[in-house]
Chain A
Amino acid sequence: MSFPFANPKTPTADGSPAPAGTRKIALVCAKGGLDECLPVLIMANAARMTGIECSVFFTFYGLDVITDSRVDHLHVNFLGNPMSPMPNMIAGLPGMEALGTSFMQKKIDELDIPRPREMVHMLSESGCDLYACELAMKMFERTKEDLLPEVADVITATDFFERTHGADIIFV
Chain B
Amino acid sequence: MSSVEKALVIRHREVVPDYYELEFIAPEIALEVLPGQFVNIRISDSLDPLLRRPFSVYDVDKKLGSITVFYKVVGKGTKLLSQMPIQKPLDVMGPLGRSFSIPTEADQVFLVGGGVGIAPLVYLSRVLSSEGIKTKVLMGASTAGFLAGKSMFEKFGVPFLVSTDDGSEGLKGRVTQLLAEQLLIDKCDYIFACGPESMLETVTELAMEQNIKGEISLEGHMACGVGACLGCAHLVKTGEGQRYAKICSEGPVFKIGEVLFHSQDER
Chains A and B belong together in one complex: no
